[in-house]
Structure 1
Amino acid sequence: MKNIVRILLTILLLVTMGGAFVFAAELDEEPIIERAKILEVEEVEEGYKEEVDFFDSTIVKLEILSGDYKGQEFEILHSLSGNLAYDIDVSPGDRVLITIEELDGEVAVYISEYARDTYIYIVLAIFVVLLLLLGGFKGLKTIITLILTIGLIMKVLLPGLLAGYSPILLSIGISIVVTIFTILVVGGNNKKSYAAIIGVLGGVFVAGLIAYFVGTKVRLTGLSSQEAMMLMYIPQGIEFDYSGLLFAGIIMGALGAVMDVGMTIASSMEEIRLANPNMTTQKLIVAGMNVGKDVMGTMANTLILAYTGSMIPLLLLFTAYEDPFTRIINLDLIATEVIRALAGSIGLILCIPLTALVAGLLREKFGDDKVKEEAK
């Protein structure tokens, strides 16, 4: 119980410290965002369509469900441009987010987005329940580490980047804190956890070095996505290190998979040692490597497929227009994703022998743990 209290206090301290620094300037006025329910949708009359040319418009009646205008009903003109990426096509019964503008006593209401968060929270609740049911006390520890990770990203990483701090240094620091905290909380304070920490940090460090060296040589700009280019126009007027943001993203993206592999190898070797205490250190390292070889193929595929899956529409475009492979592979966007996937996979692969070797050397140097950790 004392350990859990310490963990919670640590999380609270870190998140509070991160939130105490005001890195980003606030906008003078924030829009009023409220929830609403669509009651009726009617076509615009023919005589009125001339005023809304080039748009498919409807008269939408909605009821506001939150805020100062809760319970009030409004009829608004809602226009569609014909672009599925931006249009919000509504039907009676839909839940939406609306933007309310108050100007000179007049109230203007606009539909700004579908309300999707309810189902997101439902899926999140299922995730938490499954963690607790199947993982028990370790599931609770996992939730605590997730809270810390999210807190560090939201309260330290993002505000720090907006303040102009080095994205690479920030991501390295957060990766170290997340790795050490997560593995020690989940795995306990023992040699197994120490081996996993060293293996994970070594693998992520190598992934970052490869990404930085190769990315510099091939002149990756970090501006291959629309979101990155939009950062040039944010109201804070910050001059970002876009290539640094790219490498920071590669480090953070590789961390999860590499941490998974490192903990898997260290835990497997610990279970093998407990099942056969008389096994020599050399055989234990070989056993860890054998486990790693099985994990290697699937986890490398995981990274490659994860990055490929996010690029399916773009790959379809290249295929449809039959662009030559030489042109495709040299595009900034494609080269960025290829290096991201390969650097992460190399870090993952190197994590296996590093974790196995460190676990074996720790056993050789300090012997087996005399007091076994209680099953949590």
Structure 2
Amino acid sequence: MKQNIKRDKYVALQKGTVIAILTGFFVLLVVLLNRTNVAKGLGQAGSMQVQYEHATVLKITQQSLKKDPDTGYQNGTQMLQIRIDSGKYQSNVLTIKNYLSNYSNVVATQGGTLVVRVSGLEQKPDVAVFSYYRAPYIYALIILFFIVLSIVGGRRGIRSAASLVVSFLCILFIYIPSVLRGASPLLMALIIAGYITLVSMIFLSGFSRKTWTAIIGTLAGVLFSAGIAVLSGALMHLNGFNSPESETLIQLSGLAKIQVGGVLFGGIIIAALGAIIDIAVSIASSMDELNRHAPDMGTHALFASGMNIGRDMVGTMANTLILAFAGSSMMELLLIVSNNIPYNQLLNTPWIGIEVIESLSGSIGVILTVPLIAYIGAKLIPVLSVKEKPKNVFVSFARQKKPF
């Protein structure tokens, strides 16, 4: 009884130590990388003289609109009486003209809320309609997502939501500031991927056999994806300089020391991480459950079961990644088909090469994660039985003497 109490205290101490280290690492990097505003002065010229505020449409005093038969949009002009509801000119009532076309089409309605562009703050402001006020609906959709995740997923859903928040904060407050300061996007993406993997796995599964199995398999899969992406980019002569946003980033790189060439590969690693974590956790959890119900099934049988489980998942997961690529690129695909671009020209454009690298390197990483997880799980999961609960998972794994 006393031994069990001591063992539980030791395990709790281990958990607390790991959580403290992970939290300290996050806080330290956030403080170091955000102690000064790296993005200050990197925006468009004169942007500091422009503010975007939300305003209420009090009245439409005049309008002349005509429906476009091709797009269905209302084109023309509106004279609006608005009240600015935020910023320096809050509560000011102004009359402005709203121009509507197929490219800028914000139809104002009485009582509706818009976002307006306010410039010339030192003198009489110049106010123009910018867009619809979408922020409340965005916040509502985010809240709905977390509510549904928590209700359906229960405690695990809440943990998943917490890990999602941490992942977002890591990208926003660690990855982006470090890249703006001149750090290697590829190296920082690998570091962030490792940190997000540890935090996500621990939040979702705690300190268990399947956790360590999934962590090792995920990191290996991410490394495979990174290696394939970098190798493919070198063979095709593609990097971040070939992306559509490269021109703007090159202009900023002189001020912010951005390594533009590596941004593409850093993004590929982060994009592939979610799918790799998903398949790693699913296979590790299934193998762990099999081992609990049939602890004597043997290493070879457990490996074969993991492979069979993974094969069922690979097809749908790879299909998901490819369909996500097609869906996100639908506008470009429509333009390509409608312009009858020759096959040779199409296949050798930088855009196609980048999209192929982004989608297929992540898919290959997901596929290779299956045998990795199956092998690691077959070696690691049987080591820790439910009854024994050894103190150190890595020591127990190293002491295993059964050959695979």
TM-score range normalised by the length of the shorter chain: 0.7 to 0.9
Q: What residue in structure 1 maps to residue 280 of structure 2?
A: 262
Instruction: Say whether residues 1:125 and 2:143 are aligned partners.
Output: yes
Instruction: Say whether residues 1:327 and 2:345 are aligned partners.
Output: yes
Q: 1:345 to 1:96 in 2, by over 3 A?
A: same
CA distance in 2, matches of 1:279, 1:90: 68
Instruction: Say whether residues 1:174 and 2:192 are aligned partners.
Output: yes
Q: What residue in structure 2 maps to residue 60 of structure 1?
A: 80
Equivalent of 1:24 in 33, 36, 39: 39
> Which consecutive residues of structure 1, in runs of 5 or more, have no partner in the other structure?
45-54
Tell me the secondary structure at the aligned position of residue 100 of structure 1: strand
Give the RMSD, CA atoms, in angstroms.
2.8
Q: What residue in structure 1 maps to residue 4 of structure 2?
A: none
Instruction: Say whether residues 1:140 and 2:149 are aligned partners.
Output: no
- The 5 A counterparts of 1:1-376 are 10=24, 15-26=30-41, 29=48, 31-41=50-60, 42-43=62-63, 56-80=76-100, 82-84=101-103, 86-234=104-252, 237-238=255-256, 240-364=258-382, 366-370=383-387
Runs (4+) of structure 1 moved beyond 6 Å? 1-5
Is the CA contact (8 Å cut-off) linking 1:14 and 1:152 kept in structure 2?
no
Q: What residue in structure 2 maps to residue 50 of structure 1?
A: none
CA apart distance, 1:236:
6.7
Is the CA contact (8 Å cut-off) linking 1:59 and 1:75 kept in structure 2?
yes
Tell me the secondary structure at the aligned position of residue 359 of structure 2: helix
CA distance in 2, matches of 1:309, 1:30: 38
CA apart distance, 1:151:
1.1
Identity %: 32
CA apart distance, 1:32:
2.6
CA distance in 2, matches of 1:327, 1:371: 63
Number of aligned residue pairs: 361
CA distance in 1, matches of 2:96, 2:253: 30
Q: What residue in structure 1 maps to residue 395 of structure 2?
A: none
Is the CA contact (8 Å cut-off) linking 1:232 and 1:238 kept in structure 2?
no
> Which consecutive residues of structure 2, in runs of 5 or more, have no partner in the other structure?
1-11, 65-74, 390-404
CA distance in 2, matches of 1:126, 1:103: 37
CA distance in 2, matches of 1:323, 1:294: 37
Q: 1:262 to 1:15 in 2, by over 3 A?
A: same
Q: 1:367 to 1:239 in 2, by over 3 A?
A: closer
Is the CA contact (8 Å cut-off) linking 1:281 and 1:363 kept in structure 2?
no
Is the CA contact (8 Å cut-off) linking 1:265 and 1:356 kept in structure 2?
yes
CA offsets, 1:122-151, max 9 Å, x none?
Answer: 111111111221222222211221121111
Letter in 2 for 1:243: G
Q: 1:111 to 1:206 in 2, by over 3 A?
A: same
CA distance in 1, matches of 2:126, 2:339: 44
CA distance in 2, matches of 1:251, 1:104: 46
CA distance in 1, matches of 2:122, 2:206: 61
CA distance in 1, matches of 2:31, 2:131: 31
Q: 1:43 to 1:363 in 2, by over 3 A?
A: closer
Is the CA contact (8 Å cut-off) linking 1:18 and 1:152 kept in structure 2?
no
